[in-house]
Amino acid sequence: NPSKSKYHPIKDACWSKGEPVPYLALAKTLDLIEGTSARLKIIEILSNFYRSVMVLTSEDLLPCIYLCLNQLAPAYHSLELGIAETYLMKAIGQCTGRTLAQVKSAVQKCGDMGRVAEQARAAQKTMFAAPKLQIRKVFAALKEIAHMTGQASVNKKINKIQSLYVACRDCEARFLIRSLEGKLRIGLAEQSVLHALALAVATTPPGPNLQLDAAQHMSADKFKALVEQHVAVVRRTYCECPDWAELLHELLRGGVAALASRCSMRVGVPLRPMLAHPTRAVRDVLARFENEEFTCEYKYDGERAQIHVPAAPDDKPDFANAAIFSRNQENNTAKYPDVLSRLPTLLKEGVSSCVLDCEAVAFDAANGKLLPFQVLSSRKRACASAEDVRVPVCVFVFDLLYLNGAPLVGSTLAHRRKLLREHFCTQPGTWQFATSKDCSTIEEVQLFLEEAVKESCEGLMVKMLTGDNSKYDIARRSHNWLKLKKDYLEGVGDTVDAVIIGAYRGKGKRAGVYGGFLVACYDPESEQFQSLCKLGTGFSDEDLQILSDMLKEHIIDSPRNYYNYDSSHSADVWTSAAVVVEVRCADLSLSPAHRAAIARLHPHKGVSLRFPRFVRVREDKAAEQATTAAQVAQLYLAQDQIKNQVKQPDAAH
């Protein structure tokens, strides 16, 4: 029975109760995972490690989770290591008596700096063994490195890295260096970590009545159902309150049962936003929402802004501690001092705390017109004060998720909207509610869409208005929100957010900058970036200059071993997966030379974009948030010509 494990969390651990967890225990676990391809097995290995940590040294669970995720803190703390590859190679070289050129060439040959570091460390004899590394100390050192800033920080960072590296045993160096590089390369995405943790607490429930192996007393079916339920609770809690410290604290104290009651959304912690499904035609909207009450809202072309206003002790809103978060839970407060300064004009008397889901859109006040996203993207990431702001914005509020101490995510959209309109003010050009219309026929939707486009919007968001399906689906790409973009209707196809993994030098007029790029989708299951197409059109000269400048700091010596591409598309210059671009295409086709969604639709062929055109840089998206392989496969299958092809064999029978 694969869901039950023979692992004993005390006897099979390599450390004893109360001892700090050795870093080697984590490194060995990751090594085991690296040699395993079955996802369920990977989850079992990781969950057994977590069980040992929970039972023996539970305070180390937080650093263990963060190290598995290659993170140092919640996304909204914006804490990053920021170490250039060259510095890492320098550190490896200096500790092992090699030149930078030797390390560079070894990395180029092997394609994995972690392995090179491990081999170099193993080949080196040291006179005195350094103290054994502990997980908590390694994690604290990484955080210290991330906090080092300023001129002299480079040398300090290198020194710190060296002190960790010389103490590495066995496979520790491989994972230490990969952590410092920001990529563990073992196919361990956030979903696997959540799943492993849920399995761990189902098997070894924490809390006052600790049991080492609850599964032994359950039938396989019952245990499976229990694990599924735990996975759902842990995932939902994490999406609502993406703060591992908080989640683990409650989990270890009161078990899974405590999560739902004690660890819910709170002001100050950005929740993962609800996302929408694309629709290709107005008639698809009706097919989904027929006989339901739904509403259409303008889809504004700006940047998502989740605005949090906490309550002060006197139960008045505490504007000084209000915060604005991006779609990816980054803290954007410093970017919008103008929005913060006018927050008091938004809240009516009686509102003490709230969380609002909004879109900030660049606004031309002189002409009262909305401006495209490109204008907003020229706004500085941090402005000292409202006066410092060069690109004014109008904020369109479209949802209310929390009001006066009570989460509203479980209420219907109709109720949330009613409260929004009752408790908040609007002011043209600064605060507005998203323009909406509760439609019921195709004609109405079509007309409203045309109006939205005329008003410089991207299209419509169509949302379920009443009933259970209109609750706010945290973190879900939900079928209860559909996006209807004008582009889909013009027949030019969907846009895809793709990651640049390589670049081709420009020729002729484009000499001196990159003239084309190899772009990829992301497959979270294999953690691969899979090539999607060569992108060489749709750019202005300025776009190419900007992209070439942006890529400068991301150039790497050789392609990563998690890039999946055909050698016929080898780039002139390889880049780390960092820059995401939105790409429009005529359609999607199966391709023997591209690897997007490989093996999902055809055993050897991937999907590629036909006639791809650059639309814009997606600065708000990290590489892992690019369009996924599964989405690419879905987009391919959703094409009319493919749907018809699939239907034909049936018709013949």
Contact residues toward ligand ATP (CB under 6 A) are 275-276, 297, 299-300, 304, 327, 359, 398, 434, 461, 483
C-beta of 276: minimal distance to ligand ATP in Å?
5
C-beta of 434: minimal distance to ligand ATP in Å?
4
Which of 398/431 has CB closer to ligand ATP? 398
Which of 338/582 has CB closer to ligand ATP? 582
Which of 299/335 has CB closer to ligand ATP? 299
The one catalytic residue among 104, 299, 485, 605: 299
C-beta of 441: minimal distance to ligand ATP in Å?
21
C-beta of 307: minimal distance to ligand ATP in Å?
13
Strand pairing category for 563-564 and 528-535: parallel
Residues whose CB falls within 8 Å of the CB of residue 8, separated by 6 or more in sequence, listed in order = 212, 213
Whether the CB-CB separation of 85 and 95 falls below 8 Å is answered with no
Single-letter residue type at 287: A
Q: Is 486 a catalytic residue?
A: no
Q: What is the spatial distance between Cα 622 and Cα 226, in angstroms, rounded to a whole number?
A: 34
Closest CA relative to residue 618, chosen from 374, 347, 291, 268? 374
Residue 20 DSSP symbol: P
Residue 596 DSSP symbol: B
C-beta of 275: minimal distance to ligand ATP in Å?
4
- Cα–Cα distances in angstroms (integers) from residue 287 to residues 280, 479, 643, in the given order: 12, 12, 16
Which of 461/474 has CB closer to ligand ATP? 461
What is the C-alpha end-to-end distance of the chain, expressed in Å? Answer: 41
Which of 251/276 has CB closer to ligand ATP? 276
- Cα–Cα distances in angstroms (integers) from residue 401 to residues 267, 276, 415, in the given order: 10, 17, 11
Residues whose CB falls within 8 Å of the CB of residue 147, separated by 6 or more in sequence, listed in order = 79
Strand pairing category for 275-278 and 477-485: parallel
Residue nearest to ligand ATP (CB): 304
CA atoms within 13 A on the CB side of 7: 21
The secondary element (H helix, E strand) that includes residue 436 is strand 436-437
- The count of other CB atoms within 10 Å of the CB of residue 415 is 16
Which of 304/416 has CB closer to ligand ATP? 304
Which of 13/395 has CB closer to ligand ATP? 395
C-beta of 559: minimal distance to ligand ATP in Å?
26
- Cα–Cα distances in angstroms (integers) from residue 485 to residues 240, 373, 490, 493, 563, in the given order: 28, 15, 9, 10, 31
C-beta of 564: minimal distance to ligand ATP in Å?
22
* Residues annotated catalytic, as ranges: 299
